[in-house]
Copies of this chain bind each other. A is one copy, B any other.
Amino acid sequence: MLDTPKRLFVGRPLRSDRIGETLLPKRLALPVFCSDPLSSVAYATEQILLVLGLGGLALLRFTPWVGLAVAVLLVVVVASYRQTCFAYPNGGGAYTVSRENLGVRASLVAASALLVDYVLTVAVSVVAGVAAITSAVPALAPHAVALSVGLVVLLTVVNLRGVKESGRAFAIPTYGFVAIVLVLLAVAGVRLALGQTLTAESASLHLVPAEHTGGLLTVFLVLRAFASGCTALTGVEAVSNGIPSFRPPKDRNAAATLTIMGTLAVVMFGGITALGVLAHVHMAEGIQEKTALSQIGLAVFGGGPLFYLLQAFTAAILVLAANTAYNGFPVLASLLAHDGHLPRQLSRRGDRLVFSNGVVLLAGLAGLLVVAFDADVTRLIQLYIIGVFVAFTLSQAGMVRHWSTALRTAPDAAARRSIRRSQAINATGALATSVVLVLVLVTKFVHGAWLVVIAMPLLYVLMLKIRRHYDSVDVEAAPRPGGITLPGRVHAVVPVVKVNEPTLRTLAFARSIHPDDLSAVTVQVDPAETQRLMADWARRDIPVPLKVLESPYRDITQPLLDEVRSIGRHSPHDVVIVFVPEYVVRHWWEALLHNQSALRLKARLLFQPGVMVTSVPWQLGWEAPRT
């Protein structure tokens, strides 16, 4: 029924043996795995300016220092993740690393952090991409929510079709974005060198302090600005997940890619932040402004084609960044489902070799966030990066433990030295990210982060409980010693409302299995109807006894259940088979007109031990009469 539209959108099914990997050279791996961290420079600077602006114009002087701190942290984290590449050439995501080194519980914490963050990556990136579009075409601004949801839907369809991580398609937006930002920095440098001034649209915007400042309050606001700027680090872990896709030597290529990415990110983020300060970009909450990057672009390029190119590439790389979550979430969910922590259907690849259920789940959650937060980047970003830093911290801490273990089997002093060096780097990373995690928690908690602080533990407990449930089912369903004894007698029961072909055929089918006894039962609601049924029954000479059940409360199900139970009571080794005639309709809406009583009866019978329920379908208008 749903097959044709599904094929139209999703495409024809793909055979399992077409799953083989294509290995990527560095120049293609960079766009595939680094669009997320590179794209976040599109909004990281803006978030710093926005938070500092809450303290009034005076606080904007801290911008360079905050930017510097973010850049340093980025370097530390990249250095730390480079060690992971060498230690886990088969892929070292936070879930894997923490599961191996810190145990199941830590890995589930990492997993819940990652799942939450994948959802937020989609929401934030798509919304930020739409902001880039509406900054270029302000007329579209009122449709931001619709545009964002539309992009989520588009990404979902594309991913359900199954995008091979085709480096070439990814390369254009990523390299395009890097190139246009570098051009932006170069043009700005030349213009500044020529003594020109750059002035952003919002330079004249007078920022009134919205928050109290002075003393510790100022420190707090600066730390909050730093916490917001840390969004620049999101997605760094994608490379360590993707190591198996690199050409050999995988570890060294992956590490080199990380270094390139880190360098580019630091240059771009630093440059944009510097220009933001020089061009006096003033951001204020609650004012519908153009994005900081677009204001800088406008100031540097004027309104020409380069400006529109900047906006187009910004939007493109952000959508691409969202797409990386479409790869990450379903794979992680399938790992978790395989380990019994999520419903098993998440571990099944769909027609197109994609974990379709995971894709749909991700899209639903991200869409919900986009709508609930009114496609507002600033509000969404409050929820972001807590998960990132939880995963960072656990992953780095896991690496520290990993090196300790490696130390015990190190062959010589040189190896031990190298391991100690790696461990020191990871320890620095773990320390730095854990400190930032605390900072982020403290400074962003009341601004929306509490939602994530609730969601993550809930998810964690949920995953633990699901695993416990599957475990207990496995224990309960394990084959018993001594094997199965065959059931004793077989009793068949056919509920009857009316003598018609479906009923007669059901009786015939019931007789065909030669049960030890067979009875037809009807529930009397309207005595006149029952009389008619009994007369029909007698007239047709049906060779099965018809039993009439009283129902003083008009309920049809309960008397039948009681009857079935009383039949089954005779011997616990007997089985009762209830044959239920059922209409199979051609259109879903026809289902409303039939089977309501049958469905209710079947659902209730399932709870009766020792009872089987057999549906005898009667396909309405589907088949030639069949006897």
CB <8 Å contact, A553 and B612 = no
Partner of A620, one of B476, B480, B486, B582: B476
A166 at the interface (CB under 8 A from B): no
A361 to chain B, nearest CB (A): 11
Contact of A584 among B577, B607, B616 (CB under 8 A): B607
Given A15-B552, A487-B508, A501-B479, decide whether A610 and B584 contact each other with a Cβ distance below 8 A: no
Residues of A near any B CB (own CB < 8 A)? 13-17, 343-345, 348-351, 353, 466, 469-470, 472-474, 476-480, 482-487, 490, 499-502, 504-505, 507-509, 511-515, 525, 540, 551-555, 572, 575, 577, 579, 582-584, 590, 592-594, 596-597, 602, 605-623, 625-627
Chain B nearest Cβ from A164, distance in angstroms: 17
The docked-state distance in angstroms from the alpha carbon of A338 to that of B353 is: 50
User: Do A479 and B540 touch across chains, with their CB atoms under 8 A apart?
Assistant: yes
Q: Which residues of B contact A611 (CB under 8 A)?
A: 617
- CB < 8 Å neighbour of A577 from B513, B602, B617, B620: B513
Asked if B473 contacts A583 (CB within 8 A), the reply is yes
Q: Which residues of B contact A500 (CB under 8 A)?
A: 474, 477-479
A593-B626 in contact given A575-B509, A613-B615 (Cβ < 8 Å):
no
When the two chains form their complex, are residues A612 and B614 in contact, meaning their CB atoms are under 8 A apart?
yes
Chain B residues lying within 8 Å of A477, measured Cβ to Cβ, are 500-502, 618
| A478 and B615 alpha carbons, distance in the complex (Å) | 20
Q: Are B484 and A627 in contact (CB under 8 A)?
A: yes
The residue in chain B whose Cβ has the minimal distance to the Cβ of A472 is B621
Contact of A473 with B553 in the complex, beta carbons under 8 Å: no
Nearest chain B residue, comparing its CB with the CB of A541: B483
Task: Report the copy number of this chain in the oligomer.
Answer: 2
Which residues of the partner chain B approach A610 to less than 8 Å between Cβ atoms?
Answer: 626
Instruction: Contact check, A466 vs B593: say whether CB atoms are below 8 A apart.
Output: yes
Q: For residue A482, give the distance in angstroms from its CB to the closest CB of chain B.
A: 8
Nearest CB in chain B: distance from A564 CB, A: 13
With A479-B540, A501-B478 as contacts: A553 and B351 at CB distance below 8 Å: yes
Say whether A606 contacts B582, CB under 8 Å. Answer: yes
Q: How far is the CB of A145 from chain B (nearest CB, A)?
A: 21
- B-chain residues with CB within 8 Å of residue A17 when the two chains form the complex: 552
Q: How far is the CB of A554 from chain B (nearest CB, A)?
A: 6
Asked if A627 meets B552 with Cβ closer than 8 Å, knowing A593-B466, A606-B584, the reply is no
Could you tell me the distance in whole angstroms from the C-beta of A364 to the nearest C-beta in chain B?
14
Known: A16-B554, A593-B469, A614-B612. A512 touches B484 (CB 8 A): no
Contact of A555 among B351, B594, B617 (CB under 8 A): B351
- Interchain CA distance A527-B198 in the complex, whole Å: 65
Shortest Cβ distance from A489 into B: residue:
B512
Q: A344-B596, A540-B479, A621-B472 are in contact. Are A513 and B515 (CB under 8 A)?
A: yes
Q: How far is the CA of A540 from the CA of B343 in the complex (A)?
A: 29
4 tightest A-B CB contacts, nearest first: A614-B614, A513-B513, A477-B500, A13-B553
Nearest-neighbour CB distance to chain B for A92, whole angstroms, equals 24
Chain B min CB distance to A313 (Å): 38
Q: Which residues of B contact A605 (CB under 8 A)?
A: 617
In Å, the complex CA distance between A470 and B590 comes to 10
Q: List 10 A-B contacts (CB under 8 A).
A: A16-B552, A343-B596, A344-B596, A345-B596, A478-B500, A512-B575, A513-B515, A582-B606, A612-B617, A613-B617
Q: Is A509 touching B483 in the complex (CB atoms < 8 A)?
A: no
**Is the pair A619, B609 in contact by a Cβ cutoff of 8 Å?**
yes
Cβ-closest chain B residue relative to A510: B612
Task: Assess the B508–A479 pair: CB atoms within 8 A.
Answer: no
B343 touches A16 (CB 8 A): no
Cα(A483)–Cα(B607), bound, Å: 35
Docked complex Cα distance between A501 and B623 (Å): 37
The distance in angstroms between the C-alpha atoms of A13 and B556, with both chains bound, is: 13
Q: Find out whether the CB atom of A486 lies under 8 angstroms from the CB atom of B470.
A: no
Q: How far, in whole Å, are A176 and B19 apart by their CA atoms in the complex?
A: 78
A577 and B469 contact, CB distance less than 8 A: no
Shortest distance between the CB of A83 and any CB in chain B (Å): 33
A477 to B620, CA, bound (A): 8
Select one of B484, B551, B613, B617 contacting A504, CB under 8 A: B484
For the complex with contacts A469-B590, A486-B512, 8 further pairs of A-B residues with Cβ separation under 8 Å are: A479-B501, A479-B504, A480-B625, A480-B627, A513-B577, A577-B614, A584-B607, A607-B622
